[in-house]
Structure 1
């Protein structure tokens, strides 16, 4: 496969709270809506990624390994191939530089177009699943996801937005979180929701057109978001049971926006290799089998190891572009 942008992102810490009870957040804080725990739920996300080096092209990698000579981090904990840093480790900085070979540092989105794009897609993933939950009657947990783009991801792209001259996204995301906190009818919330989506789209449009027309760049970003989705799924499960409903939702949202990413860039990907494009769509559909419904099933439909294998299959096929 052609040389690829390599970049790193930081990983956020997660806090598990509540078992089978309603966990109340400060009603004055619209970014921590009350959610009702049907099982153990994650209500608080935290931790900012550390800043690191600048983006560069290159890095040696073998088949099914998009990235630096140092190889992929292992699956699992913070910094491994699962958290945000690990999910995008195949896109790190150049060899020998900060964020490059052997480095665990994470460059800011201001220095890394792939980190920037992936972070905006994480925002969209939260919004995708928030709408699904909200409109299906799960308004409490749906309202929580409405606040996550602002609470979890805005800080990491703020400098990049400023440098690119993108305005309005802060106010749009903050307004949506505030509106969702009162849990109005969807018809009343939808204008704020669409405003937030449009603001994210404007931020995406600020990417260099040459990158948005680069099949390798699109495939690499897609792979990173899928790795993050798989990590969220893993975090949702313990001893073969779903114990963290919100992480299940995060993974579902991230996987769905990855499919839309491929569809949105269909012309670019088909021009590179039409058969591979269709294969990648099929791979994502197989990955989506881990999330068969908006709310978690009684038992996981797919094991964490099987899901990891499906993501690796996507990676392998993406190398054919």
Structure 2
């Protein structure tokens, strides 16, 4: 397989309105080396996050990894649109070398299409210093969209239609947001920009998923409540595309949103 050696191991593709609201007017990228992804995705390889011995647990685990990958791509694309190719590179590289390695055999087992080539093209575009999302990047994005949708449809249909299952999925994604947000912080400041953007992308994916579920008309009240929590968190923790100079909120504050959404899931009719 044409996959480059991993040197350092540290979560609908249209950009959502919620993610676009994260972007502030362009300003210079922080003048620092871009640190490696130390946190969230390392758990994929090293720490079993749940018992996958049942079909439902296996579906939840699989869908989380797809969500992590899509969250990376969402924020990577947004960074390219903002002219931040250097900051975008990890969000196309990490999916290939961390998440896709885990997903590849599971995509095959679920008879979902493979999409490594599209990820490689996107990473190459960012590594080449290109900005914007036209040209080869745009072609790869267009090719990837139906494949990524098919990867999500590989989950059992009854679970994709279950508000309880999908709300729990969004709650887990917000837990991952909190984990990577925490990894971005040292001594009360955001110093790991990659981890900050990881968590931003995961939140954008969660908000996108909530919007899709609301549009489907299932458990409208509960999904509206979850969407409000996600938007509240976006405004609180991600006021701009680039990290603020001061820590916007605590890790416990972010994680509490995961708990609140899980509480909604627990009370909804399955």
Q: Could you say what the CA RMSD is over the residues aligned between the two structures, in angstroms?
A: 2.7
- Out of 27, 38, 41, the residue aligned to residue 31 of structure 2 is 38
1:120 aligns with 2:66: yes
Higher helix content, 1 or 2: 2
Partner Cα separation in structure 2 for residue 42 and residue 150 of structure 1: 18
Partner Cα separation in structure 2 for residue 223 and residue 111 of structure 1: 15
Give the equivalent residue in structure 1 for 2:163.
215
Aligned partners of 2:52 and 2:61 also within 8 Å: no
1:294 aligns with 2:241: yes
More displaced stretch, 40-49 vs 306-315: 40-49
1:228 aligns with 2:176: yes
Deviations 1:165-223 (A, max 9, x none): 22231222223223332133422222223323332122112222111111111111111
Partner Cα separation in structure 1 for residue 206 and residue 178 of structure 2: 12
Partner Cα separation in structure 2 for residue 221 and residue 171 of structure 1: 27
Shift of 1:155: 1.1
Partner Cα separation in structure 2 for residue 230 and residue 48 of structure 1: 14
Aligned partners of 2:37 and 2:195 also within 8 Å: no
- Out of 180, 197, 202, the residue aligned to residue 150 of structure 2 is 202
| Aligned length, in residue pairs | 238
Shift of 1:304: 1.3
Shift of 1:238: 1.4
Within a 5 Å distance, the mapping from 1:44-193 to structure 2 comes to 47=42, 49=44, 85-86=48-49, 89=50, 92-93=51-52, 112-186=58-132, 187-188=134-135, 189-193=137-141
Within a 5 Å distance, the mapping from 1:229-248 to structure 2 comes to 229-248=177-196
Aligned partners of 1:242 and 1:300 also within 8 Å: yes
Higher strand content, 1 or 2: 1
Partner Cα separation in structure 2 for residue 158 and residue 168 of structure 1: 7
TM-score, length-normalised on structure 1?
Answer: 0.67
- Give the secondary-structure state (helix, strand or coil) at the position aligned to 2:237: coil
Aligned partners of 1:40 and 1:243 also within 8 Å: no
1:305 aligns with 2:252: yes
- Out of 182, 192, 214, the residue aligned to residue 266 of structure 1 is 214
Cα separation, partners in 2 of 1:315 and 1:161, compared to 1, 3 Å = same
Deviations 1:39-89 (A, max 9, x none): 464225675746xxxxxxxxxxxxxxxxxxxxxxxxxxx85xxxxx45xx4
Q: Which has the higher contact order (CA 8 A, sep 6+)?
A: 2
Cα separation, partners in 2 of 1:284 and 1:312, compared to 1, 3 Å = same
- Give the secondary-structure state (helix, strand or coil) at the position aligned to 1:201: helix
Return 5+ residue gaps in structure 1 as ranges: 1-11, 15-35, 51-77, 80-84, 98-108
Cα separation, partners in 2 of 1:164 and 1:266, compared to 1, 3 Å = same
- Give the secondary-structure state (helix, strand or coil) at the position aligned to 2:89: helix
- Give the secondary-structure state (helix, strand or coil) at the position aligned to 2:267: coil
Give the equivalent residue in structure 2 for 1:74.
none
TM-score, length-normalised on structure 2?
Answer: 0.78
Give the equivalent residue in structure 1 for 2:22.
none
Cα separation, partners in 2 of 1:49 and 1:296, compared to 1, 3 Å = closer
Give the equivalent residue in structure 1 for 2:15.
none
- Give the secondary-structure state (helix, strand or coil) at the position aligned to 2:36: strand
